[in-house]
Amino acid sequence: MDKKYTIKDIAQMAGVSKGTVDRVLHNRGKVSPAALEKINEVLNVIDYEPNLIARNLKSTKVYRICVLLPDPAFDPYWLPCVNGIQDAIVEFKAYNVIIETHYFNPESTKSFLKVNETIIAQSPDAVLLTPLFHKETVEIIKQYDELGVIVNTFNNEVESSSIKSFVGQNLHKSGRVAASLMNLILSEGQIAIIHIDESLKNAVHMQEKEKGFRNYFEEKELNDFSITTLKLKNSNIETKFASFLEENPDLTGIFITTSKAYQIASLLSSAKSKKITLIGYDLIEKNVNFLNQGLVHFLIHQNQKRQAYLGVSTLVEHFLFRKDIPETILLPIDIINVENASFYVS
């Protein structure tokens, strides 16, 4: 029997009033040992679960959650996050929750700090942020901690004891996944790991992937490969990559650690197309186009949308349903090729 008991039921069973039961349930004291015992006896027998609907109906407290992420105008990589947050907003619109999105310029720590000021001024109950800048993030979190604001992070894993929770992917492993796919297609030759990013703020992000990628080849002792790293900035991609191609005629594979695979694919398509295997990240439209053309072989899906969604929803559920906020949520590393891509684009 999983009949649902109410406080009134318990009160009746214990022969007291619901006020007393309520005091016991919430340890508010002012209860005689006799009453306490009677109520506890009842509680031990039955399986009382408070009705969350009733609780949330009653509560007039409005929870305010701020999300801080880079402006998608700077990098479409962040666009799916906005959708994920929107999903959460829709899902919880019935409840007293306000979810606000704030953007910062991913190339400017100042912007990051400034927007954080704005958020603090709103005195939210919780903040979900993209900790792009290590030092600044740690500093900011200290502030939030002092104000009693719960902080959740996503996308970037920052090593710091001050960070209590994180939603994202294991980047090292995702590098390994990329490596395993590369090794499936190729059996020898030169492979380039290319880091492309406007600013180099994603450095840790990209390095982890590189480490994982190299780690795979080392562990398997695949000595017929040589792996080179190449760093490109938006301004110099064309010339630098062209000369790199010339200098490395044996190049057979490229692993792009950011969502900019399309830039390389585009250059390769215009160049004399040697067969070069391309593996990159993220299902942004341009990448998927090249996937469909066969120029990009695999994409690894980082599922930013779900990252953002989970980042928000764990916070909301913490407030509404008293659920614990998981320390780390690691999303699966989805392998995408031309055949299954359509099921992932949202």
Partner DNA sequence: AATTTTAGTGTGCTCGAGCACATTTTTTGT
Partner DNA sequence: ACAAAAAATGTGCTCGAGCACACTAAAATT
Interface residues toward DNA, by CB under 7 A? 4, 6-8, 11, 15-20, 22-23, 25-26, 29-35, 50-51, 54-55, 57-60
d(CA 190, CA 245): 11
Which span (108-116, 175-183, 230-238, 244-252) binds its own copies, by CB under 8 A? 175-183
Residue 187 sits in the site that holds its own copies (CB under 8 A)? no
Question: Cβ of 271: how many Cβ atoms within 10 Å?
Answer: 13
d(CA 64, CA 191): 48
Question: What's the DSSP call for residue 341?
Answer: G
Residue 185 sits in the site that holds its own copies (CB under 8 A)? yes
Site string (243-282) toward its own copies, x via CB under 8 A: ----------------------------------------
Site string (56-75) toward its own copies, x via CB under 8 A: xx------------------
337 binds, among its own copies, DNA, none (CB under 5 to 8 A by kind): its own copies
60 binds, among DNA, its own copies, none (CB under 5 to 8 A by kind): DNA
d(CA 241, CA 239): 6
Residue matched to tokens 């200290």: 142
Which span (90-98, 100-108, 119-127, 251-259) binds its own copies, by CB under 8 A? 90-98
Nearer to its own copies, 259 or 313 (CB): 313
**For the chain, where are the E strands, in sequence order?**
63-70, 97-104, 126-129, 150-154, 166-168, 189-196, 225-232, 251-256, 277-281, 298-301, 328-330, 334-336
Which residues are within 8 A (CB) of 292 and not within 5 positions of it... i.e. 6 or more apart? Answer: 338, 341
Which span (123-131, 191-199, 200-208, 324-332) binds its own copies, by CB under 8 A? 324-332
d(CA 107, CA 124): 25
332 binds, among DNA, its own copies, none (CB under 5 to 8 A by kind): its own copies
Structure tokens at 291: 């996937």
Nearer to DNA, 26 or 93 (CB): 26
Structure tokens at 308: 């953002």
- For the chain, first and last CA: distance in Å? 42
Selected from 73, 184, 203, 242, the binder of its own copies by CB under 8 A is 184
**Interface contacts to its own copies, rule CB under 8 A:** 49, 51-54, 56-57, 93-95, 170, 173, 176-177, 179-181, 184-185, 216, 330-340, 343-344
